[in-house]
Structures are given as structure tokens and as C-alpha cells.
Amino acid sequence: MVLFLLIYSSSALADAKMNLGLEVYNNKAQCGVCHSLQSAGSQGQIGPNLDQLKPTIPITISAVTNGIGVMQSWEGILTEEEIEAVAYYIFNSTKN
């Protein structure tokens, strides 16, 4: 029973993180204007296709926090939690 609760609550947390990540991707930061990502239904062509790139969590955190090339930095615009969630969302949507 305790084990069940532990498993249940960690998967509920993981779902919450995926949902927040998708919300950041589609609404708060609108990453899809520039990036393609099948699971989010986005077809942006300005930045790399994330389904092909399959970025690790640290790569996305770094790109979003610091900016890269023409991509802006979201430091101070998104919270650390939101940046982590979008990185987590992209990683888990593309790793297969």
C-alpha cells in the first residue's frame, strides 16, 4: 500500500511536470513558433527540429536560460521550474 502510494504520487508529479512543460512550450514561451515538435503539434522552421535533435535536459536548460544564436534568453522571464519542465517535456517527448 505504501509502495503503491509512492509509485502513484511520483507518476502524478511526473504528469504535472509534463503538463507544465507543454504549457510553457505552447503558451508561455511559444517555442513552437520557431521549432517543430510533433507531440506539441508545432511546425516552426526557424530553429532546429526538436524531434530530430532530441536534446538532453541540460542542453535545453542551457539554451533556454542563456539563449543561443538568435534564440533569446528566458532567464528572468520563465522561472527555473518552468525552464526545467519544458526541458523535461521535450526530452520525454522525443527520446523514445
Binding site for ligand HEC (CB under 6 A): 29-31, 33-35, 46-48, 55, 59-60, 63-64, 68-71, 74, 86, 90
- Report in angstroms how near the CB of residue 85 gets to ligand HEC at its nearest: 10
- Report in angstroms how near the CB of residue 59 gets to ligand HEC at its nearest: 5
For ligand HEC, give the closer residue by CB, 9 or 66: 66
Q: CB under 8 Å to 21, separation ≥6 — which residues? A: 85, 86, 87, 88, 89, 90
Here the contacts of 27-35 (C-beta below 8 Å, separation 24 or greater) are 28/78, 28/82, 29/64, 29/74, 29/77, 29/78, 29/86, 31/86, 34/71
- Report in angstroms how near the CB of residue 70 gets to ligand HEC at its nearest: 5
- Residue nearest to ligand HEC according to CB distances in the complex: 69
For ligand HEC, give the closer residue by CB, 11 or 81: 81
